[in-house]
Chain A
Amino acid sequence: MNKKDVIDLKGEGWLYSKIVEDHFFAPRNVMRDGINHKEFNAYGEVGALACGDIMKIWLKIENDKIIDFKWKTFGCASAIASTSILSEMTTGMMIGDAYNITANDIIEALGGLPKRKIHCSILGDQGLRAAIDDYRKSKSN
């Protein structure tokens, strides 16, 4: 039997950690209607609708520092929570450091993810790097 499929009986009673639950139901830094996209100078998009996950990330970067991070995600609870916590982790961070954030860093910050959901968090760090690449490219042009 796959051990991950055996729920521990400590009374947690939910699929995901408390941190995932918090970010999923009260997501931070969503790119809501009415926010002007033009205020952001970097954009990254990863995933595909057919695969069930799409992530869009907008960054406002000043002097190589992320000062604002907004996002939109189509996906399950872990995909949404991954993007939400990533936005908190990286706001205020230098892009060089943000670029090195790994899926594991995101999973750790979320208090763990069910094994089969790990690919959702991988999407987050990829999306962030895509946005930083976009910024670096536009700067070099």
Chain B
Amino acid sequence: MKRIYLDYASTTPVDKRVFEAMKPYFSDDFENASALYSGAQKTKQAIEKSRNSIAKFLNCSADEVVFTSGGTESDNMAIFGCLKKFKKGHIITSVIEHPAVLEPIKELEKQGFDVSYLKPDKSGIISVKQVKDALQCDTLLVSIMYANNEIGTIQPIAEIAKVIERERKNRKLKIKNEKLKIIVPIIFHTDACQAAGYLDMNVVDLGIDLLTFNGSKIYAPKGIGVLYIRQGIKIAPMILGGSQEMDLRAGTENVPSIVGLGKAVSIISENDAKKEQKLRDYLIKHLLKFKNVKLNGSTNRLPNNINISVGGVEGESVVLYLDRKGVEIATGSACSSKSLEPSRVITSIADDETAHSSLRITLGRFTTRAELDIFLKEFKDSVEKLREMSAV
């Protein structure tokens, strides 16, 4: 049975071009980049070539790019790293963040930090005004995701950055006027893992201080990520050891994956995004023709994202019925989660029932119209069967 993969937001397959670029660095050019001999220099060059490719992608300088083991590590590093020297202070984030952001922030909350958790509006968007209103004189960190992993909604990062920049200027002015000695810094971090393949990643346009993205969502391998650290932003390392990554992240570099990530960002194309959006809109149009199916989130969403709730059926059941037909999608239902809690993201914009019945269908570079037609047929079949036995 040929599988139809429609869960690209979960992870992407490694693109063959990426895999080809990585191959030499496993068994041939394997030397430790820290060594002196020429083989090692070759490895070092491969790392720096990739760093340059990523710097070009982000429109930053190469020394602002730090390789990590993935999105989760980058988020942890950003949050713990920039607040390490503080014992208390205020943090702004949103309830729809990925756990890789929420859990470190909850940990800091336990240690005495004060946290504002912003709730999105019904369409899944955090407004600039909400951030502005939440700012305090001791706000040290704002962490708002660029695009949401479940409903794909895009947050106004560049506009939020402007508000934060204004706050920064106000604080400087205040220091000058009141002759105070200490400036309270404010840092803006965004988790851009879902956005990286689709949205403007120009950090100058975005006005961001720290930005996370990873390989597993953009056709590079799992286990590789980046934290962009704007020049002048002080981050304390979380993993201590050797002096790799400008003393910010110890450990022998994962060269094949670093090379893969550099290749992956260089082949991201607007045409792919356009193609996916067209297919996505085709699929939404047909899904909304089914009785009692509604779209969760806003139209301002990633071009590959669909999140629907299917009245009368529970998400896990649909996922497993479709899996039997070789179709792979995701759900925000409680039954599918280890915590038995329904998706925080869906419950923040709708009721629990909507979350229990929610399905996430995410398209990707290799999705075809023919696959979507098979999906629609199997979806219809599964939902009909489950609705017939449903108590709702």
Q: Which residues of A contact B (CB under 8 A)?
A: 5, 15, 24-25, 27, 30-33, 45, 47, 49-56, 71-80, 116-117, 119-120
Contact = CB atoms under 8 A, between A and B. Distances in A.
A5 B391 contact: no
Given A30-B388, A49-B392, A75-B317, 4 more contacts: A50-B353, A56-B391, A116-B340, A120-B335
A74 B312 contact: yes
B357 to A, nearest CB: 9
Most chain A beta-carbon neighbours within 10 Å: one of B333, B351, B352, B356: B356
Given A24-B320, A50-B351, A73 B389 contact: yes
Interface residues of B, number: 24
Contact of A72 (B316, B335, B338, B391): B391
A52 B351 CA distance: 11
Contacts of A49: 352-353, 356, 392
Contacts of B388: 30, 32-33
Interface of B: 312-314, 316-317, 320-321, 324, 333-336, 338, 340, 342, 351-353, 356, 388-392
A25 B324 contact: yes
Q: Is the contact region of chain A dominated by helix, strand, or loop, or is it mixed?
A: mixed
Nearest 6 CB-CB pairs, A to B? Answer: A76-B335, A76-B316, A72-B391, A52-B356, A54-B391, A50-B352
5 contacts: A45-B391, A55-B391, A73-B391, A76-B316, A79-B314
A76 B336 contact: yes
A72 B353 contact: no
Contacts of B353: 49-50
A119 B320 CA distance: 19
Contacts of B336: 76
Contacts of A55: 391
